[in-house]
Structure 1
Amino acid sequence: MSDESQRPIVVKRVKKGGHGHHGGAWKIAYADFVTAMMAFFLLMWLLGSVSKGNLKGIADYFSNPLKVASRGGEGAGDADSLVKGGGKDLSQKTGQLKKGTPTIEDQQKDKNRLSALKKKFETLMNDKAKKNSKLAQFKDQLRLDMVAEGLRIQIVDKQNRPMFKSGSSELEPYAAEILDEIAQLLNDVPNSVSISGHTDAQQYASGQRGFSNWELSADRANTARRELIHGSLSEQKVLRVNGFADEVPLDAGNRLNPVNRRISIVVLNKEAEGDIREQAGMSASEASAPQQAGA
């Protein structure tokens, strides 16, 4: 019997050749690369679709986020052009409009309508003054001008010819006649109106405790509103009634001048009307929607 310890030991060595299996790590890397490329091309497409005005707003945010954030609202990327354009061309930096902002064409129509109303009002008052000597003597107390908000019609006091009884919101008869005439003209345009009362700087010395020129000016503005409605003005056309006391004088050099006591009626353009409604809490789309009252 042979000795087992003498049996030879054979060692087999396997040589590794070619390329072995690397696992799935490369698939993850490739998927990340494809995802990054998709995100990049999506970003480039979005940037190409945004107007330059909005791009400037985005750039401003990353340059100075605190400045943009402090402004608030949704117009951080709006163009800063003083003359707002149509905003249809996305390649233009200026002229991009926020939703609800009147176009240049609408603004021009509004301006033409108010200018025509101003001429019509002046013609009517001239005719009335010729036929009625009483109105003729008060003609110089009527002032018409175009302001940023629209057409402003002011009825001012003169010495010995006040609109209201002293220290009161009771209208003098001639002032009521003028407001009745104005009411008929205001119905000829679809625009809303704003009514403001103003006093001179003479302090209110009587009445209930705490009653001042603020309350007096507000009461007079509201009295003018009631008289306009009595004169056939649609109640829904009145958008705002303000009392300014003596804070906005016509004659700043002499705050006791009687002309500082006045009623100011502004026939609002559509842009001003939309701004007022937004300030009161309406959304931009609601504020720009046509109002039934003025239609």
Structure 2
Amino acid sequence: MAGDSKKVQPIIIKRIKKGGHAAHGGAWKIAYADFVTAMMAFFLLMWLLGSTTEGDKKGIEDYFNSPLKIAFFGGTGAGDATSLVKGGGNNLSESVGQVKKGKSETAEQKARKKAIRAAAAAAEAERLRVLKQKVQEVIANDGRLAQYQNQIQLDLTAEGLRIQIVDNQSRPMFDSGDALVKGYMRDILRAIGGVLTEVPNKLTIEGHTDAKPFSAGDRGYSNWELSADRANASRRELMAGGLDGNKVLRVQGLAASMLYERKDPESPLNRRISIIVMNREAEDRVFQSAEAEAVDRTEEESDEKSEQVSLKN
């Protein structure tokens, strides 16, 4: 019937009941721990690679590529001397690692540097020898200076080329007890200054006197002051001859502490001016000594300031 077909269909409501997740174990913790361990190992490996030198890396590579070759024929390897922990030699007393049949790189570098220094020293010695000949030629060819050749002595020492102008009883360089340069001495110093301006080496100028004391003794104006004044007067004459003042490294008065004629302390030969054209080794010693003194002085000043601060506190 028509009325029956239009009956309302029953409404069915479907309700889904949600249940909780199924319980599971701690397997994820193990996986996470493995991941963290792997990351730590990775970063440790990267740190080791970053702190390893190229020589050590090459040695490790060579060792794993051909370990028997290094063992029998030698070569750089994992136990090379560049490693922090030495090893790989024939016995515990060796410290050169697996370099069994050849010199280590460090030894070769030292030998190379030594050879370079030796070559530089030889070249400098030759330059100073040529300078010595040139000074001798200048004095011999100058009519004013040729007559004073016996008072000008040149020799090569451990410090460099030493030019000494010694006194003569008949031709003194200075008046007794005075630092005023005599005329002929002025000519000699200016001629030498013109020659020395061509060399790059630093100079030391030394004043020497005989052992005859002043009447005032060492507590007044003595041979120490006189020798220093004469050395400084000689420096001014060298500069008047063309020498660059920046080349003078030291001017010192030595009085009678280094006698030329030890058997005759009052000999005129002990009264002299020494001009030393310093070699590189002598220059380095002076600079190193000055640097050491500067460091010591800085440390002393720092200690004094610390003591003052502690006393205030």
Q: CA deviation at 1:204?
A: 1.7
SS of alignment partner, residue 247 of structure 1: coil
Residue ranges of structure 1 left out of the alignment (5+ in a row): 1-37, 50-54, 56-87, 284-295
Letter of the aligned partner of 1:157 in structure 2?
D
Residue ranges of structure 2 left out of the alignment (5+ in a row): 1-47, 49-77, 88-92, 94-103, 294-313
- Contact 2:224–2:253 at 8 Å: present in 1 too? yes
With over 3 angstroms needed to count, the CA separation of the structure-2 counterparts of 1:176 and 1:96, relative to structure 1, is same
Letter of the aligned partner of 2:172 in structure 1?
P
Q: CA deviation at 1:205?
A: 2.2
CA distance in 2, matches of 1:44, 1:180: 56
Which residue number corresponds to residue 149 of structure 2? 139
Which residue number corresponds to residue 103 of structure 1? 117
CA distance in 1, matches of 2:86, 2:231: 53
Matched, 1:45 2:96: no
> Normalization by structure 2: what TM-score?
0.59
> Normalization by structure 1: what TM-score?
0.62
Matched, 1:203 2:213: yes
With over 3 angstroms needed to count, the CA separation of the structure-2 counterparts of 1:258 and 1:189, relative to structure 1, is same
- Contact 2:173–2:185 at 8 Å: present in 1 too? yes
User: Could you say what the CA RMSD is over the residues aligned between the two structures, in angstroms?
Assistant: 3.6
Matched, 1:278 2:288: yes
Structure whose CA Rg is larger? 2
Matches within 5 A, 1:120-199: 120-128=134-142, 132=143, 134-199=144-209
Q: CA deviation at 1:97?
A: 6.4
Matches within 5 A, 1:1-295: 45-46=83-84, 90-91=106-107, 103-128=117-142, 132=143, 134-205=144-215, 210-281=220-291
- Contact 1:102–1:271 at 8 Å: present in 2 too? no
Q: Deviations over 1:27-59 (max 9, x none)?
A: xxxxxxxxxxx9x9799813659xxxxx9xxxx
Q: CA deviation at 1:125?
A: 1.0
Letter of the aligned partner of 1:142 in structure 2?
I
- Contact 2:205–2:235 at 8 Å: present in 1 too? yes
CA distance in 2, matches of 1:207, 1:172: 26
SS of alignment partner, residue 200 of structure 1: coil
- Number of residue pairs aligned between Structure 1 and Structure 2: 207
CA distance in 2, matches of 1:160, 1:235: 32
With over 3 angstroms needed to count, the CA separation of the structure-2 counterparts of 1:241 and 1:42, relative to structure 1, is same
With over 3 angstroms needed to count, the CA separation of the structure-2 counterparts of 1:138 and 1:108, relative to structure 1, is same
Letter of the aligned partner of 2:176 in structure 1?
S
Letter of the aligned partner of 1:109 in structure 2?
A
Structure ranking higher on relative contact order (CA contacts 8 Å, 6+ apart): 1
Sequence identity (%): 42
SS of alignment partner, residue 91 of structure 1: helix
Q: CA deviation at 1:139?
A: 1.4
Letter of the aligned partner of 1:247 in structure 2?
S
Q: Deviations over 1:79-108 (max 9, x none)?
A: xxxxxxxxx95236975969xx97112111
SS of alignment partner, residue 230 of structure 2: helix
Letter of the aligned partner of 1:91 in structure 2?
A
- Contact 1:199–1:213 at 8 Å: present in 2 too? yes
Q: CA deviation at 1:168?
A: 0.6
Whose helix fraction is larger, Structure 1's or Structure 2's?
2
- Contact 1:102–1:270 at 8 Å: present in 2 too? no
With over 3 angstroms needed to count, the CA separation of the structure-2 counterparts of 1:255 and 1:208, relative to structure 1, is closer
Which residue number corresponds to residue 41 of structure 2? none
With over 3 angstroms needed to count, the CA separation of the structure-2 counterparts of 1:189 and 1:140, relative to structure 1, is same
Q: Deviations over 1:232-260 (max 9, x none)?
A: 10010000111110010111111111000
Letter of the aligned partner of 1:46 in structure 2?
L
